[in-house]
Amino acid sequence: MEKGSAMSLIIDKPAAPARQVPAKAAKRPAKRSGTPYAFLAPAMILFTLFLAAPIFYAGYLSLRKVQVSGLGLGAKSRTEVWAGLSNYARSLTDPDFLPSVLRVGAYGLIVVPTMLGLALLMALLLDAARTRESISKFARISIFLPYAVPAVVASLLWGFLYLPRVSPITDLFEAVGITAPNLLSSDLTLWAVANIAIWGGTGFNMIVIYTALRAVPTSLYESARIDGASDFTIAWRIKIPIVMPSLVMTFVFSLIATLQVFAEPMTLRPLANTISTTWTPLMKVYRDAFTRNDIYAAAATSVIIALATFIVSFGFLKLVGRRAFNQED
């Protein structure tokens, strides 16, 4: 069903049904105007309680701090006071903060293009009719499978595969007489973490792109093929432009996930010397909140990360000029 609307784009018909709704709905009698609010109520109440309230609370906490007096061992020696913007100042001037931001930037540069590139390639291969059905089905399920593996478990599995002494990769290298690289050494850790994300995310993005490709009527390719276009040309000139909206959306969602990388490095951290407690900004939040018991600093860093995420993802959407995120014209 959802394929329908993508198709309407491709054959360049205006997406008629969806467009007519507002006009008609607006004409409906005023007495029924409460209905949409009623439908929205459960979502909005839960949203307020479990998303909005915690966010505002985090914002409040980011402006507070604990003040201890003396040795701090008496029962009531701890008081919470206003901190102004000092938590933000400390967060931004923390020498570990900028490196962790840059690291996540580099991580994103590795993960997003590689993952989406692989997803697009696999989707195009699946879509190419001449790939045998059984292999296509096997590949589709296999590549999608990692999506079912929670990031914590995935990192644990890959951790085993990375550690030189227990890794089959090392055995493989040694079998051909090369010293295996230590995947958790300082040069390669970033790639090792990126690999887990790519492994986990490629299948999902592949399905999204594949769904978009399948919605294209084959007649479109037939005529191109009669004109003598090669598979490569068809993919480049016809298929990729058609799935561009899907690519944009997968890009945005991948970007968001990338900026929030946490579970993978967190799980790998005890296995190696090369992942510090502030390896990514969210790990710093975790360290401040749970290891250092300073939820105020953690809240300030959280607010900074949330703002940065908004700016980057909305900025990107603005840049590509899509209205994907906004239903109003």
Partner 1 sequence: MTTMTAKKQNRSTLATTLLILGAAYCLLPVLWVLIASSKSAGELFSTFTLAPSTHLWDNIVDLNNYRDGLYWRWMANTALYAGVGAAVSTLISAMAGFALAKFEFRGKSFVFNVILAGVLVPGVILAIPQYLLLAKVGMTNTYWAVLLPSFISPYGIYLARIFAAAAVPTEILEASRIDGAGDWRTFARVVLPMMRTGLVTVFLFQFVAVWNNFMLPYIMLGDDKLYPITVGLNGLLNQGANQPAMYTSVVTGALLSIIPLIALFLALQRYWQVDLAAGGVKA
Partner 2 sequence: MKTKYAPLMAALTAAALFTGTACSSSDSAEEVNPDEKVALTYWTWTPNMDKVVAAWNSANPNIQITVNKQDGGDPAVTKLLTAIKAGSGAPDIMQAEYQKIPTLVSSDAIADIAGEVGSLKDKFPEGSWNGVTLGSEAVYGVPQDSGPLMFFYRSDVFEKNGLAAPKTWDDYAAAAEKIHKADAKQYIGTFSATDAGLFTGLAQQAGASWWGVNGDAWSVNINDAATQKVASYWGGLVEKGVVDNKPMYTPEWNAALNDGTQVGWVSAVWAPGVLEGSAKDTKGKWKAAPMPQWDAASPATGNWGGSATSVTTQTKHKAQAAKFIAWLNSDPAALKLLATDANIYPAANDATSVLTTPPAFFSDQADYYTIAAEAAKATKPFTYGPNVNVAYSAFNDAFGKAAESKKAAAFTESLATIQQTTVDDLKNTGFNVAG
Task: List contacts with partner 2 (CB under 8 A).
Answer: 34-35, 37-38, 40-41, 44-45, 48-49, 52-53, 65-73, 75-78, 90, 96, 159-160, 163-166, 185-186, 270-278, 287, 290-295
Q: Is 168 in the site for partner 1 (CB under 8 A)?
A: yes
Pick the closer one to partner 2 by CB: 116 or 183. 183
Burial class (CB in 10 A: 0-12, 13-18, 19+), 70: exposed
CA neighbours within 13 Å on the CB side: how many for 223? Answer: 4
Closest contact distance (angstroms) between CB of 108 and partner 2 is 23
Give CA–CA dist 180/171, Å, rounded.
Answer: 8
Q: Which two tokens stand for residue 158?
A: 């890959």
Our finding on whether 1 is near partner 1 (CB under 8 A) is: yes
The reply to whether 61 sits near partner 1 by the rule CB under 8 A is: yes
| Crossing angle between the packed helical segments 133-144 and 97-127, to the nearest 10 degrees | 160
Beta bridge partners of 65: 81
Minimal distance in Å, beta carbon 68 to partner 1? Answer: 20
Contact flag: residue 113 with partner 1 (CB under 8 A):
no
Interface stretch with partner 1, choices 19-27, 70-78, 85-93, 221-229 (CB under 8 A): 19-27
List Cα–Cα distances, 99 to 106, 110, 145, 148, 278, in angstroms.
10, 16, 34, 32, 9
Residue 70 backbone phi and psi in degrees, to 5: 60, -130
Return the residues of window 207-236 that contact partner 1 according to CB under 8 A.
Answer: 207-208, 211-212, 214-215, 231
User: Residues 120, 216, 272, 295: which binds partner 1 (CB under 8 A)?
Assistant: 295
Stretch that binds partner 1, among 64-72, 93-101, 109-117, 250-258 (CB under 8 A): 250-258
- Closer CB to partner 2, 221 or 286, in the complex: 286
Using the contact rule CB under 8 A, the part of the chain among 47-55, 70-78, 80-88, 109-117 near partner 1 is 47-55
**CB neighbourhood size of 6 (10 A):** 19
Task: Output helix, strand, coil percentages for the chain, rounded to the nearest 5.
Answer: 70, 5, 25
Token pair in block for residue 308: 């940065």
Using the minimum distance from each CB to partner 2, give the nearer residue, 48 or 223.
Answer: 48
Compare residues 76 and 132 and give the one whose CB is closer to partner 1: 132
Q: Tokens for 96?
A: 């570990």
Shortest spacing between CB 145 and partner 2, in angstroms = 23
Residues 65 and 87: beta-carbon distance below 8 Å: yes
Query: Distance between CA 86 and CA 170 in Å, rounded?
Result: 48
Name the residue with tokens 């079998």: 175
Cβ neighbors of 318 (< 8 A, separation 6 or more) are none
Task: Choose the one of partner 1, partner 2, none that binds residue 142, judging by a C-beta under 5 to 8 angstroms depending on kind.
Answer: partner 1
Q: How many CB atoms lie within 10 A of CB 283?
A: 21
What, of partner 2, partner 1, none, does residue 320 touch, CB below 5 to 8 Å by kind? none
Q: Are 198 and 122 in contact (CB under 8 A)?
A: no
Rounded to a whole number of angstroms, the minimum distance from the CB of residue 305 to partner 2 is 19
- Neighbouring residues of 168: CB distance < 8 A, sequence distance ≥ 6: 161
For partner 2, the closer of residues 230 and 291 by Cβ is 291
Out of 66, 110, 139, 224, which residue is the one contacting partner 1 (CB under 8 A)? 139
Among 107, 221, 279, 286, interactor with partner 1 by CB under 8 A:
286
Which option in partner 2, partner 1, none does residue 246 bind, with CB closer than 5 to 8 A by kind?
partner 1
